[in-house]
Each structure stands twice: as structure tokens, then as C-alpha cells.
């Protein structure tokens, strides 16, 4: 057993020596390929940094972000399901794997990828022209936008983030803020926040009721003037009857107005104690620091890749040389070529 182990160790030593010998024999090739690749990628990185953004093969990119708070517990799952069903998004959200339960964060992420938002961004900023898309402009513009527009949600903090990457930091910031405002409007349209919708309806009804009270009071004053004028604008009994009708209608409208105001004030107290479903925490700012590319990392990766490739090439060339020196191997190759 000891002799066999020594033989195995001897074979291992020989194989390692052979491998080292191959690398030493091809050391110049390995050094030339590695150093050439290293110098080449460094020069490429410097040129890409010096050239203007429009002509640079590797321009700087910027990724501004906007922060929102998505409250997943402000409404029940039934409210959200009803809202989605009313807008026709319930089935689509289910097919996309989005739960129609109380997860408004999943709904927000889903809405970022919908054609409605993507097409709005494409049309608003004319991305088809900007990206020079000619074939299937609508579909290709959506694909290009999806690669640059990202949405994430942090379950621990409840913060929803939208980011967009572009070589123009100002343009990227404008796109992000447009998406934030679009999402806020979209949440309002599908009536996810029932309290907010009810508040808007109450404000509208209060304004209409107040206007109606003013109109009735003006009509009543006109009738009083008609009575004082001695009935020149109609008979006194008819005017008095109309006054009584307006008085009753005015009392009814004032009661309605009072009830609406009470509901409105109670709702304001309720909303003050609850967090809204979608709340903008921070709009995107123009970034002053690039998000990519990492030219240093690229140089390191290319240099190591060139080194591994040169080592692999050294073993391949050594194998080819050994085959050419082996008459039996060459004979087999020639025989195989003739048969083919």
C-alpha cells in the first residue's frame, strides 16, 4: 500500500511539473495577451470617459430614485378587490401573480409594468424618437423602457422606490417624477383609498348644496322686493305661496348642508388618524454622481479573463504540439479525415 501511494504521489508530482512546464514555456504569450488586454481595456475606459456622452462607447449613466410609502394595512382586501374589479384590473392582476388581497405594494409594482404607464411615458417624452426605434415602435419602446425603469418595495420600511437609468441625469429625474405623479393619479382612479374618495365627494356635495342655498336666498329676496313693490311683479297671494315654497326648500337645503358638514368633519378626523394608501415621501432629484458603469471593475474582469484565456490557450497549443509529435495520433487523425 505504501508503494502504491508513493507511486500515485510521484505521478501527481510529474503532472504538476508538466503543467508548470507548459505555462513556463508559453509565459511570453500569456504575459503578452494579459498585458495587452489590460492596457487595451484601460485605454478604452479612458477614451469612453473623455469622449462626449453622445459619442462615447461606454457613457456614464445616472439613476435617480423617488420614494413613496405604500400602506398595505389601511384598507381591507375586499375594498381592494372591489376596486380592481370595478376597473377591470382584477383578472389581469391575478394572471400576473398579483394578489388581490391587502397588498397595495404588489399592486404598485404591477402598475409600473402596465402598458398604460409605459405608453404614457413613451408618448410624454417621445422615447420612440429618442431611442431611434423604427421596427415595431410601440412594442420595442415598451421593452426598452422596462429595462431602464425599475420598481422595488421594502417590506420592512414600507417604502416603494421607482428608479430610471439614463445618460442624461435631468431627463432621468423628469421621467421618475412623471411616473410618481402618474401612479398617484392611478391609485386615485381605481379608488383604493375609500376615505379620500369619500372626502372628495363630500366636498363636491357641500359646494353644490351651498350654491343651491345661495340661489334660493336670492330668489326669496327677489320675492320680498316684489311684495314691497306692491305686487307689480305678480299677485300677492302667488308671491306669498312661492315664498313659502322657497322657505321650505331653503330649510331642507340648510339641513342637508349641516349634515354634510358634520360628515365631512368626522371624516377629516378619521383620515387624520389613518395613513393614506399612497403617499409621496421624496421626489427624485437630479443625481450628481453616476450609477455606472464601473470602469475599474470592468478593467479587473477583462484582465483576469484575458489571463485565464491565455492559460487555456497555452494548454490547447501544447496539446496540439504533442499530437503532431505523436505518429499514432496523427495516423488516427489522417485515417479519420480520409473516411470523412
- pLDDT given at position 92: 44
Q: With beta carbons less than 8 A apart as the criterion, state whether 148 and 168 touch.
A: no
In total, the chain counts a number of residues equal to 340
Q: With beta carbons less than 8 A apart as the criterion, state whether 257 and 209 touch.
A: yes
Quick one: three-class SS letters along 11-66? Answer: HHHHHHHHHHHHHHHCHHHHHHHHHHHHHHHHHHHHHHHHCCCCCCCCCCEECCEE
- pLDDT given at position 187: 82
Of 222, 221, 216, give the one whose Cα is nearest residue 256.
216
- Rounded to whole angstroms, the Cα distance separating 54 from 58 reads 10
- pLDDT given at position 335: 66
Residue with cell 342655498: 213
Burial category of 313 from C-beta neighbours within 10 Å (exposed 0-12, middle 13-18, buried 19 and up): middle
Of 267, 280, 260, 277, give the one whose Cα is nearest residue 182.
280
Longest CA–CA span in the chain (Å) reads 139
Distances (CA, A) of 333 to 122, 316, 319, 322, 323: 60, 17, 14, 13, 9
Q: With beta carbons less than 8 A apart as the criterion, state whether 69 and 161 touch.
A: no
Q: What is the pLDDT along the chain (340 residues), one digit of tens a residue?
A: 444 454 444 444 557 788 888 888 889 999 999 999 999 999 999 998 888 888 888 899 999 999 998 877 654 444 444 444 544 544 544 444 444 444 788 888 888 999 999 999 999 999 999 988 888 899 999 999 999 999 999 888 889 999 999 999 999 999 999 999 999 888 877 755 567 778 888 899 999 999 999 988 888 888 777 666 655 545 667 777 787 888 888 899 999 999 999 888 888 887 666 666 788 889 999 998 998 889 999 999 999 999 999 999 999 998 888 888 877 767 776 765 555 5
Phi/psi at 232 (nearest 5 deg)? -70, -20
- pLDDT given at position 155: 84
- pLDDT given at position 36: 95
- pLDDT given at position 329: 67
- Rounded to whole angstroms, the Cα distance separating 230 from 117 reads 66
Quick one: three-class SS letters along the chain? Answer: CHHHHHHHHHHHHHHHHHHHHHHHHCHHHHHHHHHHHHHHHHHHHHHHHHCCCCCCCCCCEECCEEEEEECCCCCCHHHHHHHHHHHCCHHHHHHCCCCCCCCHHHHHHHHHCCHHHHHHHHHHHCHHHHCCCCCCHHHHHHHHHHHHEEEEEECCCCEEEEEECECCHHHHHHHHHHHHHHHHHHHHHCCCCHHHHHHHHHHHHHHHHHHHHHHHHHHHHHHHHHHHCCCCCCCHHHHHHHHHHHHHHHHHHHHHHHHHHHHHHHHHHHHHCCCCCEEEEECCCCCCCCCECCHHHHHHHHHHHHHHHHHHHHHHHHHHHHHHHCHHHHHHHHHHHHHC
Amino acid at each position: 500500500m505504501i508503494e502504491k501511494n508513493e507511486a500515485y504521489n510521484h505521478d501527481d508530482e510529474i503532472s504538476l511539473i508538466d503543467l508548470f512546464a507548459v505555462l513556463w514555456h508559453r509565459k511570453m504569450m500569456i504575459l503578452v495577451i494579459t498585458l495587452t488586454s489590460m492596457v487595451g481595456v484601460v485605454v478604452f475606459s479612458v477614451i469612453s470617459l473623455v469622449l462626449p456622452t453622445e459619442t462615447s462607447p461606454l457613457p456614464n449613466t445616472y439613476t435617480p430614485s423617488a420614494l413613496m410609502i405604500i400602506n398595505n394595512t389601511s384598507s381591507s382586501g375586499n375594498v381592494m378587490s372591489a376596486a380592481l374589479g370595478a376597473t377591470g384590473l382584477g383578472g389581469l392582476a391575478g394572471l400576473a401573480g398579483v394578489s388581490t388581497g391587502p397588498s397595495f405594494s404588489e399592486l404598485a409594482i404591477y402598475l409600473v409594468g402596465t402598458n398604460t404607464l409605459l405608453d404614457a411615458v413613451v408618448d410624454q417624452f417621445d422615447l420612440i424618437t429618442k431611442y431611434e426605434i423604427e421596427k415595431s415602435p410601440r412594442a420595442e419602446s415598451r421593452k426598452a423602457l422596462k429595462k431602464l425603469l425599475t420598481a422595488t418595495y421594502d417590506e420592512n420600511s414600507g417604502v416603494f422606490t421607482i428608479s430610471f437609468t439614463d445618460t442624461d441625469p435631468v431627463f432621468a429625474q423628469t421621467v421618475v417624477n412623471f411616473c410618481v405623479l402618474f401612479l398617484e393619479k392611478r391609485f386615485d382612479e381605481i379608488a383604493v383609498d375609500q376615505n379620500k374618495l369619500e372626502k372628495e365627494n363630500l366636498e363636491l356635495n357641500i359646494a353644490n348644496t351651498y350654491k343651491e342655498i345661495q340661489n334660493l336666498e336670492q330668489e326669496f329676496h327677489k320675492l320680498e322686493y316684489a311684495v314691497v313693490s306692491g305686487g307689480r311683479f305678480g299677485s300677492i297671494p302667488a308671491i306669498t305661496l312661492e315664498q313659502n315654497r322657497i322657505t321650505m326648500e331653503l330649510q331642507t337645503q340648510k339641513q342637508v348642508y349641516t349634515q354634510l358638514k358634520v360628515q365631512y368633519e368626522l371624516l377629516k378626523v378619521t383620515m387624520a388618524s389613518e395613513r393614506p394608501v399612497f403617499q409621496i415621501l421624496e421626489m427624485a432629484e437630479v443625481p450628481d454622481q453616476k450609477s455606472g458603469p464601473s470602469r475599474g471593475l470592468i478593467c479587473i474582469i477583462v484582465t483576469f479573463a484575458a489571463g485565464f484565456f491565455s492559460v487555456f490557450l497555452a494548454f490547447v497549443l501544447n496539446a496540439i504540439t504533442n499530437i503532431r509529435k505523436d505518429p499514432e495520433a496523427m495516423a488516427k487523425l489522417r485515417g479519420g479525415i480520409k473516411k470523412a
